[in-house]
Copies of this chain bind each other. A is one copy, B any other.
């Protein structure tokens, strides 16, 4: 028996996604994001975001983030992210490479979230026209964050306020957009442009698709160059309809929200199990589909041996966690494919 809490990208695909792909595999359609299906799905995005948006499909979350930054590029440009953001730590230098040398500047903040004050101070380290430091070019927040927490709508608005004051665009790394949305019980419009967001990496891969990510630009007038940016980075699919087909199924009958709700509730259920356990405790309360627990190493070892997949995690800089010598921090990720049995099995193992 094997139980996957290693990552939501270890999960496969939801059957509805596969069926949509099969359905659209027959017949021919014009290539390179020009098919009717592409158009139709782009419109669906507009409905979902309650405004005219520009939509660009890509195949990886790293591409969505990096090409978003390329759109916002400025010479000597600096991107402000949380100091442990995915863009900064886990994308192998792609944002830097695909912006031709842009840099990230890490902003610290508790529980994976930058605060507006820390952001403002960080931006002020780069005085206007002081070429030696480079110039601010964008701010990016991760929603849900790398450590399973979520920015509230007010927190997003406060960040956006700082951006506006400095004339900087605000991007959201939404690799787990749906998980955050469901967690906040809000709408895409409320969580983005109504709070001052300019563009979003809208991830669907981790939430049940095979390979479906989209860059959603709130003001289409500012998006024009992105078509060239995407092509130039070799991220324009010829049979783009197969990305579109995934999104079509993803949005149909609220599949995306249901998948995210399932993943979040499984994390909550696991949190509850851990709270009751004596061999493990929560590092902080999960708000989406990632849970972080402090576990005695032998217990964790035993879990692994029983076929549970999960990762040790480095303690975030800003976390005030008191780990004992025999303890370590671990991450558990749930997904649309996580079952009640998976959670309860682990709960049982932890109880023993």
Contact = CB atoms under 8 A, between A and B. Distances in A.
Interface of A: 2, 4, 6-7, 9-15, 17-18, 21-22, 24-32, 58-63, 65-67, 70, 74-78, 89-94, 96-103, 129, 131-135, 205-206, 210-211, 225, 227-239, 242, 309, 337
Nearest to A60: B234
B28 A235 contact: no
User: Taking the full assembly, how many copies of this chain does it contain?
Assistant: 4
Contacts of A9: 31-32, 238-239
A242 B101 contact: no
Given A18-B21, A75-B229, A12 B27 contact: yes
Contacts of A58: 234
Specify the main secondary structure of chain A where it touches its partner. Answer: loop
Nearest to A241: B12
Given A75-B228, A92-B231, A131-B92, A238 B97 contact: no
A120 B9 CA distance: 32
Given A13-B242, A131-B230, A233-B233, 12 more contacts: A6-B30, A62-B234, A63-B235, A66-B234, A75-B228, A75-B232, A76-B229, A78-B93, A92-B133, A94-B231, A94-B234, A101-B102
A178 B321 CA distance: 48
Given A28-B11, A31-B7, A232 B102 contact: no
Contacts of A90: 132-133
A147 to B, nearest CB: 16
Contact of A59 (B97, B211, B309, B337): B211
Given A12-B25, A98-B101, A235 B232 contact: no
B101 A93 contact: yes
Contacts of A25: 12-15, 17-18, 210
Nearest to A2: B28
A7 to B, nearest CB: 6
A78 B232 CA distance: 12
A237 B28 CA distance: 26
